[in-house]
Structure 1
Amino acid sequence: MRRTADNARAEPTAAHAEDPRPRRGRAVAHALARAAERWVTVSRHKLSAGEVGSLPVLLVLAAVWITFQSLNQSFLSPRNLSNLSVDVAGTGLIAVGIVFVLLIGELGLSVGSISGLAAAVFAVLNVDNGVPEWLAAIIGVLAGTATGTIQGFSFARTRVPAFVVTLAGLLTWNGFMLSILGTSGTVNLDENGLVAKLTSYYFANDGAAYGLAAIAATIVFLVHYQDRRRRETVAMPHRSLGGIAARTGALAVIAFTGAYLLNRFQGLPLALLIFLAVVAGLDIVLRHTHYGRQVYAVSSSVEAARRASLSVTRVQTSVLAISGTMAAIGGLFLASRITSVSQSSGSGVLLLNAIAAAVIGGASLFGGRGTTWSAALGMLIIQSIASGMALTDTPAAVQFVITGGVLFAAVLIDSLSRRSQKAHGRA
């Protein structure tokens, strides 16, 4: 039926029209539902192809935190979480360097000795010889870079497996450390010095922690958005805007919650800020630079990389050099935590924890898979176990058993995922 003029006049005016906000709300809900459905579909496809991602790591971390929180209500307290964020930095930085070595399918065994050597060089230069702290710290880090470069060049040129070269380095650099420390055996650092403040300084202003959380969420959104635009331009599969928003929102919730808890104690630790900056920076190097693509190319096939005119020797040497540098920086952080360097520096379970952190976090022992965030997540799990054990007065032996079990599970998942990927590829 055709509308009449009276009918038209009887229609509601713009002021009395239906409120469009409910329709917008339904549209947003539908968009989020489609994004969630797509995420589930993609996740199922990745799992069937053996691409487990970081899901197992996050589940293990959640299980560890829930378990220890139920045993001791102080586990997730601001004080303990703040101490946890500082404790992960030293060994975590060493684990980040190990990820580079694991990516090319090799294993470095000398990072513990290199960390002790770098700390000893710094301590003797600064305390015993009066060299300014900043200069002594740089020389200590360069000592780690030099040892890593020597090992990397030896491995790349002789083609002797890296674990053999670094095993020899473990003994050699430990001997150098003992020689540098001399008969005294222990050097105490200035508790108010530059290196000591690496793990003792906190940004008390609440804005520092919240600002870091906001910056992290913004960077994640921009990186994923730019990646989406780049993939969309060349007609490659890409994340939806809803998926990017959901991922960014989840990270923002975690980041701002962490900032709130840190501010309830002493504020943002300098050690955590440096650690996250290094992890994020090296992640960008691996994922978004020509050098990073070369590392992954060598990890896939050394022979194919050579045929593609890549300098395999340079890449392998540089990977071990980065590992040595990170070990040296981690050694300074470990010395900062106890404000001393001794003949036991770099020994004990340090090497095992660093390797375990990288593997537990998702780096593959078979090469080709892993990110710097793998080391961060793995170290968080290991340190959470250690912290929970200390709060519950559990014997150290149990801690080793649990950490070993988690490591074995990570290697098992890695092996099974590789088999699934090969089977999926053949299919």
Structure 2
Amino acid sequence: MQLYILGPSGSINLPYTSPLVRFGQLLVMPGWFSHLMALLPGLAILIFGLKKRSRRLAANLSAEGVSSLVARAIALTIIFEAAVLYLNQGRGIPWIFGLFVACVMILNYALKRTKWGRSMFAVGGNREAARRSGINVRAIYVSAFVLCTTLATFGGILAASRLASASQQAGTGDVNLNAIAAAVIGGTSLFGGRGSAWSALLGIIVIQSISNGLTLLNLPSSLRYIITGAVLAIAVIIDSLARRSRVSHGRA
């Protein structure tokens, strides 16, 4: 199907008048809207923190103080507002970036605060234990693969909107390596059962910072692959050692 759509040349160019290309390359958020969006993470931390605090107090457990929650929310809001103010001095914040952040927030909520998300972590941590506890392991596996392929398709569409073209070479090179490295560096365990959408986002920032730095140094692509692979290997080793430590202390 891909070869049929791309034709004998192996690539197609999207017109710059296409709404998809305009969304990926030209459209930016209004300034007031971007500042409003920057308030949401701090408000989310405050609201969910207060709910968690009330539940713990109702169970006669220790809980984080209100002043600490407010301080964390204010600090995060200041950081995001400063970043938005800096970015708005130029062209502005693209809508495509806002869409990406919205996807991260939705996935983080689904993984952390829904039955499906908890089942996903349970199956990843110990499939047999999850099956014995009544979780439909097969359905969780199917949903995980469906979600991955859907997000990959979504990412491919957004990449085509940014490049205004699609070709057989799209997604090749170090794309898969960077995707795996970003997840592992962010704390997602290759052994399953650990990770979050926000940690993967932090991993993306780290791996892209390394990639951009190596590009600015004008290093050959082969050396960039070696350095990125070494960073991934170190992250996997640390993850493996941490897992062994948890197993030895009975916290796996």
Normalised by the size of structure 2, how large is the TM-score? 0.91
For the pair 1:283 / 2:108, whether they are aligned, the reply is yes
C-alpha contact (below 8 Å) 2:124/2:191 kept by paired residues: no
- Cα distance in 2 between the residues matched to 1:352 and 1:336: 22
Structure 2 partner of 1:386:
211
Instruction: State the SS of the aligned residue for 2:12.
Output: strand
- Cα distance in 1 between the residues matched to 2:159 and 2:62: 43
C-alpha contact (below 8 Å) 2:174/2:225 kept by paired residues: no
Structure 2 partner of 1:368:
193
- Cα distance in 2 between the residues matched to 1:213 and 1:385: 26
Structure 1 partner of 2:60:
235
Structure 1 partner of 2:84:
259
Uncovered stretches (5+) of structure 1, i.e. residues with no partner: 1-175
C-alpha contact (below 8 Å) 1:228/1:239 kept by paired residues: yes
What are the within-5 Å matches in structure 2 for residues 303-322 of structure 1?
303-322=128-147
- Cα distance in 1 between the residues matched to 2:111 and 2:226: 33
Letter of the aligned partner of 1:239 in structure 2? E
Shift of 1:224: 1.9
Which residue among 50, 72, 78 is the counterpart of 1:247?
72
- Cα distance in 2 between the residues matched to 1:219 and 1:287: 14
Uncovered stretches (5+) of structure 2, i.e. residues with no partner: none
Shift of 1:327: 0.4
Structure number with greater Rg is: 1
- Cα distance in 1 between the residues matched to 2:241 and 2:54: 34
Letter of the aligned partner of 1:275 in structure 2? F
- Cα distance in 1 between the residues matched to 2:95 and 2:88: 13
C-alpha contact (below 8 Å) 1:204/1:266 kept by paired residues: no
Q: Which has the higher contact order (CA 8 A, sep 6+)?
A: 1
- Cα distance in 2 between the residues matched to 1:355 and 1:238: 36
Instruction: State the SS of the aligned residue for 2:245.
Output: helix
C-alpha contact (below 8 Å) 1:204/1:263 kept by paired residues: no
For the pair 1:420 / 2:241, whether they are aligned, the reply is no
C-alpha contact (below 8 Å) 2:24/2:158 kept by paired residues: yes
Structure 1 partner of 2:39:
214
- Cα distance in 1 between the residues matched to 2:62 and 2:154: 39
Q: 1:334 to 1:204 in 2, by over 3 A?
A: closer
- Cα distance in 2 between the residues matched to 1:246 and 1:398: 43
Structure 1 partner of 2:229:
404
Q: 1:202 to 1:391 in 2, by over 3 A?
A: farther
Which residue among 181, 201, 208 is the counterpart of 2:26?
201
- Cα distance in 1 between the residues matched to 2:88 and 2:136: 48
- Cα distance in 1 between the residues matched to 2:67 and 2:224: 41
Letter of the aligned partner of 1:242 in structure 2? S
C-alpha contact (below 8 Å) 1:359/1:374 kept by paired residues: no
- What's the CA shift string for 1:75-112, capped at 9, x where partnerless? xxxxxxxxxxxxxxxxxxxxxxxxxxxxxxxxxxxxxx
Shift of 1:332: 0.8
- Cα distance in 2 between the residues matched to 1:398 and 1:236: 52
- Cα distance in 2 between the residues matched to 1:365 and 1:404: 15
Identify the range of structure 1 (351-360 vs 394-403) with the bigger mean alpha-carbon deviation: 394-403
- What's the CA shift string for 1:12-66, capped at 9, x where partnerless? xxxxxxxxxxxxxxxxxxxxxxxxxxxxxxxxxxxxxxxxxxxxxxxxxxxxxxx
For the pair 1:187 / 2:12, whether they are aligned, the reply is yes
Structure 2 partner of 1:356:
181
- Cα distance in 1 between the residues matched to 2:177 and 2:231: 13
- Cα distance in 1 between the residues matched to 2:249 and 2:92: 48
Letter of the aligned partner of 1:278 in structure 2? C
C-alpha contact (below 8 Å) 1:202/1:266 kept by paired residues: no
C-alpha contact (below 8 Å) 1:389/1:396 kept by paired residues: no
- Cα distance in 1 between the residues matched to 2:223 and 2:65: 45
Which residue among 339, 359, 377 is the counterpart of 2:202?
377
Q: 1:223 to 1:194 in 2, by over 3 A?
A: farther
C-alpha contact (below 8 Å) 1:199/1:271 kept by paired residues: yes
For the pair 1:345 / 2:170, whether they are aligned, the reply is yes
Shift of 1:249: 2.7
- Cα distance in 2 between the residues matched to 1:288 and 1:213: 22
Q: 1:181 to 1:203 in 2, by over 3 A?
A: closer
Count of aligned residue pairs for this structure pair: 251
Q: CA RMSD, aligned part only?
A: 2.0
Shift of 1:210: 1.4
What are the within-5 Å matches in structure 2 for residues 327-342 of structure 1?
327-342=152-167
- What's the CA shift string for 1:330-364, capped at 9, x where partnerless? 11111112110111122222212111111111100
- Cα distance in 2 between the residues matched to 1:350 and 1:410: 18
Q: 1:236 to 1:417 in 2, by over 3 A?
A: farther
